Amino acid sequence: MKYFSDTNFKTGFTLLELLIVVTLIAVVFTVAGMVFVNNLKSFSLLSSSLNENAIKLGFINQLTSQLFSKYEGRTINFLATKDGISFYTYYPVIYEGVVRAEYRFNKEEDGAITVIYEEFPYPDNKLGHAGLKKVFIGRFRQVEIEFLENNSWKTGYKSKNFPEVIKVDFGDAVHYITVNVKD
C-alpha cells in the first residue's frame, strides 16, 4: 500500500474558497459603487445650488447697479407691481445712454417665477409696455419684492422718487437694496 506524503499534494483553491473571494470582491465593488454614485449626486446638487445662487446674486447685482445709477427726470420714475418693476437708469445692459429698465416676474404653472429683463431706449416716454429686447434672467422658486416707504413695507410703488429700500425675497435668501438714503 502506498501512502501519500505532503509533498505529493498540489496546492489550489477549493470551490468554496473561490466563492468566498468572489463574494467579498462583489461586496467591496458594490459599496465603492454606492459611495461613488452618492458622491456624484451630492456634487450635482451642490453644483445646482451654486448655479442658482450665482444667478440670484447676478440679478441682485444688476438691479443694484441700475438703481444706484437712477434717473429721476420724469413725472413717474419708478413703477412697481406684483408683476414687475419699471424705472429709468443711466446703467443700461443692452442700449447706450439713459434707458427704461423693466423686470417682469412671470408665474409659471408649477409656481416658479421666471424673471425677464426688458430695456427701452430713453425717448419712448412711457412706463409699462412690451420691451424691445428681452433677456432671460432666471427661474426661481420664489421672488417677492417689497418697497420701504415712510417706515412701512409695500408691494406696489409708483412715484417720481425711487423707494428708500427695496427688499428682494427669494424664500431662502433676502437681499436689501438701499436706493434713497434720507439724511
Task: Please tell me which of 5-14, 72-81, 131-140 the model is most confident about, judged by mean pLDDT.
Answer: 72-81
* Spatial separation of the C-alpha atoms in residues 156 and 166, rounded to whole Å: 11
pLDDT digits (tens, 9 = 90+) for 92-129: 888 788 888 999 999 999 989 999 998 887 655 555 45
Report for 2-11, 121-130, 158-167: range of highest mean pLDDT: 158-167
The mean per-residue pLDDT over the stretch 51-78 comes to 89
Tally of structural domains, the chain: 1
Output 66 or 130, whichever has higher pLDDT.
66
The most confident of the ranges 3-7, 129-133, 143-147, 177-181 is: 143-147
Write out 140-170 in H/E/C secondary structure. Answer: ECCCEEEEEECCEEECCEEECCCCCEEEEEC
Q: What is the layout of strands, in order, in the sheet containing 78-81?
A: 133-140, 113-121, 99-107, 84-89, 78-81, 157-159
Would you say residue 57 lies in a domain?
Answer: yes
Lowest average pLDDT, out of 38-42, 43-47, 129-133, 135-139, goes to 129-133
What is the pTM for the complete model shown? 0.72
**Which residue has cell 420714475?**
77
> Is 37 inside a domain boundary?
no
- Count how many residues are written for the chain: 183
Q: Is residue 62 part of a domain?
A: yes
> Does 33 fall in a domain?
no
Residues contacting residue 75 through CB under 8 Å, at least 6 positions apart: 160
Cβ pair 76, 57 in contact under 8 A: no
User: What's the pLDDT score for residue 103?
Assistant: 93
Q: Is 113 contained in some domain? A: yes
**Structural domain contains residue 1:** no
99: left (phi over 0), alpha (psi -120 to 50) or beta: beta
Residue 93's pLDDT is what? 86
Domain of residue 68: give its range: 50-141
What pLDDT does residue 125 have?
A: 52
- Whether residue 167 is contained in a domain is answered as no
pLDDT attached to residue 128: 47
Look at residue 82 and tell me whether its pLDDT is greater than 70: yes
Place of cell 413725472: 75
Burial 159-180 (b: 16+ CB within 10 A, else e): eeebbeebebebeeeebebebe
Report whether pLDDT(83) > 80.
yes
CA distance linking residue 84 with residue 116, whole number of Å? 9
For residue 6, pLDDT beyond 80: no
User: Is residue 155 domain-resident?
Assistant: no
